[in-house]
Structure 1
Amino acid sequence: MQQFDQIIARLPYSKPFLFVDKLHAVDENGVEGSYTFPEDSAFYKGHFANRPVTPGVILTEVMAQIGVVCLGIFLATDALDNDLEIALTSTQVDFFRPVFPSETVLVRSTKDYFRFHKLKCKVEMLNSNGELVCRGTIAGMMKSKNHA
């Protein structure tokens, strides 16, 4: 559990753009974590009027933070210091169900490959009923700012 807290502490995000509440599992092949969408999140205002829905770009960001960045931090712990540069390189996501304010989602990620500082993962998001919200492939690059 302490290892999970250390990974979350190394994320280069802060509220309100930190979309990781808890990591449940992590190993060299993947990660699982969750996030609950606060009802008062700014992106709900006007999306959509009288029926707020979490934007797909935010769902993608949640999957990227948990499924790629958290896993990348775990995989590169010995190679990288605390001063990370992170860049999203590609996404392909299909959406199946909406996510509403106050919902908790579970993200599961499976490593496709990690080489030359590039991590590519198959990622899926489930709602609290275990229903598939979205899934796809997300890739990103990570490197230490001190080792250009």
Structure 2
Amino acid sequence: MSLYTAREIMDIIPHRYPFLLIDTIEELEPGVRALGKKCVSVNEPYFQGHFPGNPVMPGVLILEALAQVGAVAFLSLPEWKGRTAYFAGIDRAKFRKKVIPGDELLLETTIIRVKGPMGVGRAVASVGGRKVAEAELTFAVG
């Protein structure tokens, strides 16, 4: 059973359809880490153009999904409740495998550094136990 459903995730972060890219939060240590899940469906709007006849989830959207999981982890702390975490940087991004319809994308982001309202998360996306993407994501809470 999931810790948070999409409805509960929307109580923490401001993202909504079609830009809420996580379905559930499976594990959460507020301010430390979160593990989310995205069930990739052929009905995702971006598959209409990326790529017709060969649907592949855009890498930037995998990074966005990882950032949303990190935002849930950080904004779950009482002092940041009701705030928004904004992207401030992406470092060391690597894409290792395509993500396609039918994949269950696991998204784990661990907060590794915080200074005031700024922080960095180490993020890893996997499918079937295989790493598909990773990056360090910098955020600023506004």
Same fold by TM-score greater than 0.5: yes
**Residue matched to 1:65:** 68
The letter for the 1-side match of 2:132 is: V
> TM-score of the superposition, structure 2-length normalised?
0.87
**Equivalent pair of 1:72/1:142 in contact (CA under 8 Å):** no
The runs of at least 4 aligned residues of structure 1 exceeding 3 Å deviation read: 1-8
**Residue matched to 1:47:** 50
The correspondence of residues 1-148 of structure 1 with structure 2, limited to 5 A, is 4=4, 6-27=8-29, 28-66=31-69, 68-75=70-77, 77=78, 79-82=79-82, 84-92=83-91, 93-127=93-127, 129-143=128-142
Looking at structure 1, the residues matched to 44 and 38 of structure 2 have their Cα atoms a distance apart, in angstroms, of 13
Give the share of equivalent positions with the same residue, in percent: 20
Structure 1 unaligned regions, length at least 5: 144-148
**Equivalent pair of 1:54/1:100 in contact (CA under 8 Å):** yes
Q: Structure 1 pair 60/53, CA: closer, same or farther in 2 (3 Å)?
A: same
Q: What is the total number of aligned residue pairs between the two structures?
A: 138
**Equivalent pair of 2:107/2:124 in contact (CA under 8 Å):** yes
Q: What is the aligned-residue RMSD (CA, Å)?
A: 2.0
How far 1:38 sits from its partner (Å)? 2.4
Looking at structure 2, the residues matched to 2 and 43 of structure 1 have their Cα atoms a distance apart, in angstroms, of 26
Q: Structure 1 pair 35/2, CA: closer, same or farther in 2 (3 Å)?
A: closer
How far 1:14 sits from its partner (Å)? 0.7
**Equivalent pair of 2:85/2:140 in contact (CA under 8 Å):** yes
The letter for the 1-side match of 2:98 is: P
Q: Structure 1 pair 136/45, CA: closer, same or farther in 2 (3 Å)?
A: same
> TM-score of the superposition, structure 1-length normalised?
0.83
**Equivalent pair of 1:96/1:132 in contact (CA under 8 Å):** yes
How far 1:36 sits from its partner (Å)? 1.1
How far 1:81 sits from its partner (Å)? 4.1
The letter for the 2-side match of 1:137 is: E
How far 1:45 sits from its partner (Å)? 1.1
Deviations 1:96-142 (A, max 9, x none): 00000232100112221122111211110000x21110011001111
